[in-house]
Structure 1
Amino acid sequence: MFVSVVVAMFLTSVAGATDEYVETIAAPISQVAPELARALSTHHFKVVMHLDILKRIEAKEKVLHIPDLNKDRFTDVQAFVFCNPMFFSQLLNSDWKYAALCPLNLTVYGKGASTVIVYPERIAYAQKTPANRTAQRIDSAVIAALKSIPKAN
């Protein structure tokens, strides 16, 4: 499972800085995370993994010795990995290599009474390919889910 998260993080880093959707919610992450899972489910996505990244890394900090860990003082950082089998099938059938865009991922950053969700848009990877149309549909569905979270901007 950890490898999947690393792959998702790598894919996120490959896309350009403007290829993500950011949703800011005026509520603590403890309230937003369950609403996020519910919103994804309502929009036909299945959450296959939910990790509390910051707590996992902090728990191993004595071994890892990461300089300046959490310099911005986030109270929590979580990752959601999720999937929609129909979108996967469409990617597989349009250009099989782009099925690697699934599962989908997003990262949730909490700081006090504010939460920011960052979703790396799949269109960044599929532009000018046969998978482009499916990537656009995926991004539209994920963004609609994020916008449906109570207190979303």
Structure 2
Amino acid sequence: MKTFLSNAFSFTSSPLTAINCSQEDSYDLYAQCILRDDLTSKLRITFIALFIINCALLAKNIYNLVVIHRLKRTKNLKHMAIFNALLLPTILLHMALYANSILLELGLPGYSLMVYGIIEIVQVIALNNLFALGAYFWMKMLFRLTFNNKISINCHLQNRGVYLHF
């Protein structure tokens, strides 16, 4: 017990040093030094295409948020606003994953494997939460249409130009 405490004290009293990734020992031990090198050129091009697709999705999401914000006074779009607001960081995390391939294609050092893993974990959690929230909103809409059938028929007929009052 005494040696454990003395080792713990010496660990806290010694200054922290940066990891030197040029040494072979630290390169194999620390995830900060390991880069993702399994991306082939074809896979990088595919990831760049996915990055461009995510840029288009990001622009569409920002446009949706602006439209929802403008219609906020006249309509109740709370669920759409929540869903689109949570979709924004999910798309940004996807773009962060695919941006690594752009860096590697340009010959720049990409993310370390540790950073890449953290981004991937957070992105998967955000996407799962988004899917669960979307399923919740969808089920809530189905239950409203099922239990308020008279109202749903009335709204459906009003949208077609037939105005019926029950």
Same fold (TM over 0.5): no
Say which structure is richer in strand.
1
Q: Which has the larger radius of gyration?
A: 2
Q: Give the TM-score taking structure 1 as reference length.
A: 0.26
- Normalized per residue, which structure has more helix? 2
Taking CA–CA contacts closer than 8 Å with sequence separation of 6 or more, which of the two structures ends up with the larger relative contact order?
1
